[in-house]
């Protein structure tokens, strides 16, 4: 069995065997870089996923431990303040974790989320 798998794996790695039959990734997972990301150099979606996504489910699109953020009407100032200072005892402060440019990228990502239910 091992002798059969090795040549197939080698052909795949070399690019001789195309990936077929795999589903396309959802649009919210594969997106082109936003203008804000290009300006700041930070990917707000990745920053969000690694720190905020634990509580704001599905990339902020649905409520989890934290509220749904898609379609929010909160101002940039409100969101920046909430990220920096948190909301004790339910949301930690991230002022020491993110610099201003990173927070700006996260805010841009949050505002890019579309409310799919409304």
> Is 20 domain-assigned?
no
Give pTM, 2 decimals: 0.65
Alpha-carbon distances of 57 from 13, 48, 62, 70, rounded to whole Å: 34, 11, 5, 11
CATH (domain of 67):
1.10.760.10
- Which tens digits make up the pLDDT trace of 29-87? 334 445 544 455 899 999 999 999 999 999 999 999 999 999 999 999 999 999 999 99
CB 98 within 8 A of CB 47: yes
Residue found under tokens 């509580």: 55
Higher pLDDT, residue 91 or 28? 91
* pLDDT score recorded for residue 3: 53
Mean pLDDT, range 2-21, rounded to an integer: 47
In a domain? residue 57: yes
- For residue 81, the enclosing domain spans 36-118
Strand partners, 87: 91
Which residues are CB-neighbours of 84 under 8 A, at least 6 positions away? 93, 94, 95, 103
Q: Is residue 79 part of a domain?
A: yes
How many domains would you assign to the chain? 1
**Encoded tokens for 53:** 């996504």
20-34, pLDDT tens digit by residue?
443 443 444 334 445
Q: Are 72 and 83 contacting, i.e. CB atoms less than 8 angstroms apart?
A: no
Total Cβ atoms within 10 A of residue 113: 20
Length of the chain: 118
Contact 105, 38 (CB under 8 A): no
Q: What is the SS3 assignment for 41?
A: coil
């Amino acid at each position: 069995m091992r002798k059969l798998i090795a040549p197939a794996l080698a052909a795949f790695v070399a690019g001789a065997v195309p990936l077929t039959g795999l589903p396309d990734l959802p649009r919210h997972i594969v997106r082109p870089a936003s203008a804000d990301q290009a300006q700041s150099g930070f990917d707000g979606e990745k920053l969000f996923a690694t720190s905020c996504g634990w509580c704001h489910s599905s990339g902020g699109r649905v409520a989890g431990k934290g509220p749904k953020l898609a379609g929010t009407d909160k101002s940039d100032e409100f969101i920046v303040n909430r990220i920096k200072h948190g909301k004790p005892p339910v949301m930690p402060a991230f002022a020491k974790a993110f610099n201003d440019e990173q927070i700006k990228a996260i805010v841009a990502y949050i505002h890019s989320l579309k409310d799919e239910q409304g």
